[in-house]
Each structure stands twice: as structure tokens, then as C-alpha cells.
Chain A
């Protein structure tokens, strides 16, 4: 693995390796001294050309916990806002001696372009590009799923380590704005790679063209999906900023009535089922506040897992790449 621009850069074995390394990273974060010397002397650049709080902070924390130096480069107040091209930005980063670039961009394919254009020859990590991919979010979601639902038993107490395991036999429902969601795309790909069954739920207007050939089912009705007794339900944020002009659904009230994960709907889920959300949440819109704070919710845990998963990704890309160079 030279870059992580999308789930397509992973096969099942390397995905499981990343999840296993993430488990090790979680353990290091429970110690007295949380900082590891692993990447001392390397420089990680966070190139954020789109607003993001949690992903940027999460990558920054991950790099710092591994003792890398972090340079934050954001669109606002930088040369990008003055019209600098991605190419010139990449050349600048190369000249500054970046050892890895974490990139978030409004344009789909920006990370791939950066990785394969030859402008800069360092590992590129996609932190979300347009409506295309968000691989580290998918990894932390699968990590959280495996942690909660993996192991020997499904109900009650789990026994033993989840190392080496995928998500085989699990059924995950992803609900909401599939069309504009890079999180959904990466998740469908990764979860099915790891052996899970995925069902998407969205109003027909928010199902992207071509979703019929994705390795998952598509339903239009949340109640129907809940009747399938899934192991996990992931609610996606309705991305109002990507739907300027509207017209994707008649009204917020209709969306809420048909697709909100209400307390009543959550109560119909199997006892072991968990509720996920990649954040940021619109409480009372796609998810009821009570469900977000309820016992099934692993939303805060997802955020915590994000740092460990990103540490694992940086470790694999930066500590392991020497193999190919030397």
C-alpha cells in the first residue's frame, strides 16, 4: 500500500491488517504516556481545501501521537484561495519536504490526482474528496463494527480477540443522502470487502445513478430495512450544503417522517444492534436526539476510534514504505 486514496487501494488482507494495527493503537492510547516515537523526524502535511473540523483534528492528533511534525495547510487564507492550482500546491509541499500528505478536497479525484500525477512522490491519504471516497472514515466505521459485533458470540458478552477477523455475516443498513455521500461509497466497498451485507436506504431522488450495480441492496423505506433485523444502522447527515437549489425531497418534514431514526424505530432493532453516525449530526433531522445519546449509539466511540485508525494508516504508509524504496 503506497497511498490510501480509496478503498480500492486495499484488499481484504491489508484492510484487516489496518484494523488489527488500529487495535494496537487503541491500546497505546490507554497508557500513562500516549505519545509514541514511531514517526519522529517525519513531516505530515494536512492539506485541507474544504472545511472540516473532526477529520482534520483527528489526523492532526494521530500524526502528533506518533511524533510526526504536522503542518496544516488550509484553503482559507492560503495561496489556494488566491487561485493556486493543485499542481503548484503539490510542488510547494514537495519543496517543503513533506513525507506524507493528507488531503481533503471538494473535487472528486483530487487525492488520486495528487498520488499519481508525479508532482509529489510521497504517500497520499485521502481525507475525503468531493462525493467520491473517504477511506479512513470507512475504516473507523468497520473498526467500530468489528469491535462491537465481532468476536465469538453475537449477543451478550463477546469473547476473545477480533484480530484477523472481517465483518463476515454482519448486516449493515446505511440510511440517508447516499448520492452526495463519499462515506457511503467507501463504506459499501469496505464492508462488502470484509464480508458484510449492506443495505442502503434513501429516497429515490438521493440514490445515485449506477447504484444498482453496487454490491448491495437499495430500499426506499426505513421501516422495511429495520424489519430485516440488521446488526447496525448507520445514519448519514443530510448534506444541505451540497443540495443548494433543493428539489431532492419535498420537505424536511417528509424526510423526517419517512427516514428519521426515531426512538420508536430504534426500539424495533434487534437487542444487539448498534447505531452509528459519521457526524456532524443534524439532531432531530436524520436522527432523534434520544437515539443519538441512547445506549445503542456508538457515535462518540467512532470519533475516538478515528484517531487510532488514522495512526494505523500513517504507520502503515510511513513506516512501511521504506521496504519499496530500499
Chain B
């Protein structure tokens, strides 16, 4: 899908590019895309990448469980995959603490694993996630779902399911806020001098 280019945020300004409703619609659409491409929810595991990928994976899992009928419990569908220990920039960026990894009880061997993250940017997080995944097991297929793709890839990685393509300049910051972690649902874009939101997140 192509996105309409949002006007550049004014220096020091902030612009909301996805509202609560937009986020909810995007996630519902992603959930249905996953069901269609994955032939149902039987072998599906959704792994969110901390921090904000985890609640997103849980929301998508809830929608899938609902759409598939009551036989799937969202908790057996969604988990969390921490990538901190697999990053290639640990010594170059601020310290971060590893988050818990939670793999649903069925494991990931032979499953269709969908990695879920909030923003796809350089692709380095996803690369780390693929390494982390291979330490845990061997999925049949790995897919990637993101709420926002902001471009500027540094690695040959692409997403299979995208909530919103958001062309940005490197100097802009994309901030994803979710009710579970931030008290509200919104995606905002801002000029660098405005917030250090993304710095704190990445």
C-alpha cells in the first residue's frame, strides 16, 4: 500500500499521524491478513518485540482468536521475544536492560511465527530478532508485522504486514504510544528538537 505523505512536521512541532481508531483499524486488518496468508490460526505464534511490540502482538492475537472462534486462547497465540542480548549496537548505544522472553507453551518449532514490532526503521532490530529466534527453535516460516514502516532500511529486510507506510526523513522522530505502555493510543511524528521520545524507545 502507498501512504499519503503527511506534511512535514514543523520544526519543534508534533503531528499525530495515526489516531486511536486508525491504530485499531490497522491492527484488525493485519490480523485478517495474517489469517488469510497463514491458512488460519492453527500453527500460528505471534511474538512481540519489547517494548511496544508485545501489547501489539497481544491485540492482534485477540482479534485472531475472536475471528477464529473460541477454540484459540489469545495467550497461547501471543508471546514476547526480547532481542537485547542479540543487538549489534550494544556497545555503541545507551544501556538497556533485557526484557522477559515468553514463548507460548506450544513452542515455535515448525510453527508460523509472526514477529510484531511498532516501527520498522533500519531493520537491525528484526535482524536481531531472527537471531534470537534461531536460538529458541526452528519455525517453519517467519513473517513480520509492523504498525508503522518509516523507511530508511539498512539491511535487506521487509515487512509482510504493515499498518501504515510513513515516509519520513531521518531527522524526524516517530513516536508510537499505546494504552498499555503510555496511557493512550497514537502515532506521532516530530522534529528532532521537539522530543527525545524515540531516543528513549529505540
A residues contacting B by CB (< 8 A) are: 17, 20-21, 23-25, 27-28, 31-38, 66, 161, 163, 315-316, 318-323, 326
Contacts and interface: CB of A to CB of B under 8 A. Distances in A.
A323 B137 contact: no
B49 to A, nearest CB: 15
Nearest to A67: B85
B85 A38 contact: yes
A302 B136 CA distance: 25
A318 B90 CA distance: 9
B140 to A, nearest CB: 16
B90 A36 contact: no
Contacts of B94: 322-323
Contact of B134 (A21, A28, A33): A33
B97 A31 contact: no
B75 to A, nearest CB: 15
4 shortest interchain CB distances as A-B pairs? A320-B95, A33-B135, A24-B98, A319-B90
B196 interface: no
B136 A31 contact: yes
25 contacts: A21-B98, A23-B100, A24-B85, A24-B97, A24-B100, A24-B101, A27-B101, A28-B101, A28-B135, A32-B135, A36-B85, A36-B86, A37-B86, A37-B131, A38-B85, A38-B90, A66-B85, A163-B100, A315-B85, A315-B98, A319-B91, A319-B95, A320-B95, A322-B90, A326-B92
A188 B114 CA distance: 47
A21 B97 contact: yes
Given A38-B85, A319-B91, A326-B92, A27 B134 contact: no
Interface of B: 82, 85-87, 90-95, 97-101, 131, 134-137
B86 A31 contact: no
Given A24-B85, A36-B85, 19 more contacts: A23-B100, A24-B97, A24-B101, A27-B100, A28-B85, A28-B101, A28-B135, A32-B135, A33-B135, A33-B136, A35-B135, A36-B135, A38-B90, A161-B100, A163-B100, A319-B90, A319-B91, A322-B90, A322-B94
A37 B89 CA distance: 12
A323 B97 CA distance: 13
A315 B93 CA distance: 14
B53 to A, nearest CB: 17
A322 B134 CA distance: 27
A314 to B, nearest CB: 11
Contacts of B87: 38
- Tell me the interface secondary structure of chain B in the complex: loop
A315 B97 CA distance: 9
Contact of B82 (A24, A34, A163, A320): A24
Contacts of A21: 97-98
Given A36-B85, A315-B85, A322-B91, A20 B97 contact: yes
A35 to B, nearest CB: 8
A36 B91 CA distance: 15
A316 B86 contact: no
Interface centre among A23, A319, A323, A326 (most CB of B within 10 A): A319
Interface centre among A27, A37, A163 (most CB of B within 10 A): A37
Contacts of B86: 36-38
Contacts of A320: 95
A316 B84 CA distance: 12
A161 B100 CA distance: 10
Nearest to A18: B97
A66 B84 CA distance: 12
A34 B132 CA distance: 11
Given A38-B90, A322-B91, A32 B85 contact: no
A319 B82 CA distance: 16
Contacts of B100: 23-24, 27, 161, 163
Nearest to B94: A323
B127 to A, nearest CB: 11
